[in-house]
Amino acid sequence: MQVEAHLQKIIDQEGKVHLTLIDPASQTPERAAEIALAAVKGDTDAIMIGGSTGASGTLLDETVIKIKQKVDVPTILFPGSSAGLSSYADAVFFMSLLNSRDIGYVVTNQVLGAPLVYRSQIEPISMAYLVVEPGGTVGWVGDAKLIPRRKPEIAAAYALAGKYLGMHYTYLEAGSGADTPVNPEMIGAVKQVLGENKLIVGGGIRDAKAAKLCASAGADMIVTGTIVEEVKDVTAKVAELVSAIKR
């Protein structure tokens, strides 16, 4: 419960959490650690590590190790499969892609990965992962039956099912690099049924305005990945996003 409890404390004290997603396949482990350090200087709360393609093995381990050497915020795995686990990380979003048509993403990868989590010190954080239109790479890789952007009631029904199955977190994902994030109506409808359960929103959030819109609509945590990979001044960009969501 350490990382989950830590994030809860930040929500209690500051209202919202900002998570920086780093894809191990996008740069060297050294560069990943520099990005993580710059993001922490901009006050990000934790580093998520994962990618839907190629984030595994030595590259993944090295990326986690280098990041942990540079920063003291939690490192949380965001695995695209059981191969996305690394025993060096602090926690893992132990997620099921509830709207996948492929049982592999609903439960089989979790079965294959569970013994490694059991043997390690990695803290599993149970999460319902929901992919919304347009869905991007993860929608395609995860064979998601994409939730229509304008059907908040479908997203809310999935979120409720996840909550009743015992999942602590729900993640509304528009897909990495989406043109526009999940809309506020859907975020509000999902948070309404979740109550105290935590809601993460990500995909296509690039600036303060979008981050604030998602947070005000009910997201407890905001994830940004692509924009942090793209900008020159990571610290300034993260500071912009963080100050837009914190109280």
Ligand X SMILES: CC(C)=CCC/C(C)=C/CC/C(C)=C/CC/C(C)=C/COP(=O)(O)OP(=O)(O)O
Q: Which of 2, 28, 53, 180 binds ligand X (CB under 6 A)?
A: 53
Alpha-carbon distances of 216 from 6, 225, 246, 247, rounded to whole Å = 22, 20, 10, 11
Contact flag: residue 135 with ligand X (CB under 6 A) = no
| Angle at CA of residue 42, ends 39 and 44, nearest 5° | 60
Q: How many of the chain's residues bind ligand X (CB under 6 A)?
A: 28
Contact flag: residue 229 with ligand X (CB under 6 A) = no
Q: Give the residues across from 198 on adjacent strands.
A: 169
Smallest distance, ligand X to C-beta of residue 69, A: 22
Binding partner selected for residue 204 from ligand X, ligand 1GP, Mg ion, none, CB under the kind-specific 5 to 8 Å limit: ligand 1GP
Binding partner selected for residue 95 from Mg ion, ligand X, ligand 1GP, none, CB under the kind-specific 5 to 8 Å limit: ligand X
Q: Would you call 233 exposed, middle or buried from its count of C-beta atoms within 10 A (0-12, 13-18, 19+)? A: exposed
DSSP character at residue 226:
H
Q: Would you call 144 exposed, middle or buried from its count of C-beta atoms within 10 A (0-12, 13-18, 19+)? A: buried
**Helices (runs of H) and strands (runs of E) counted in the chain:** 11, 8
Interaction pattern, residues 146-185, with ligand 1GP; x per rule: CB under 6 A: ---------------------------x--xxx-------
Helix axes 184-194, 152-164, angle to 10 degrees: 30
Smallest distance, Mg ion to C-beta of residue 223, A: 11
Q: Which of 47, 58, 73 is nearest to 25 (CA)?
A: 58
Is 164 annotated in some ligand binding site?
no
Interaction pattern, residues 20-39, with ligand 1GP; x per rule: CB under 6 A: -x------------------
| Interface residues toward ligand X, by CB under 6 A | 23, 25, 50-53, 78-82, 85, 94-97, 105, 109-110, 113, 129, 136-138, 141-142, 176, 225
| Interface residues toward ligand 1GP, by CB under 6 A | 21, 138, 173, 176-178, 202-205, 223-227
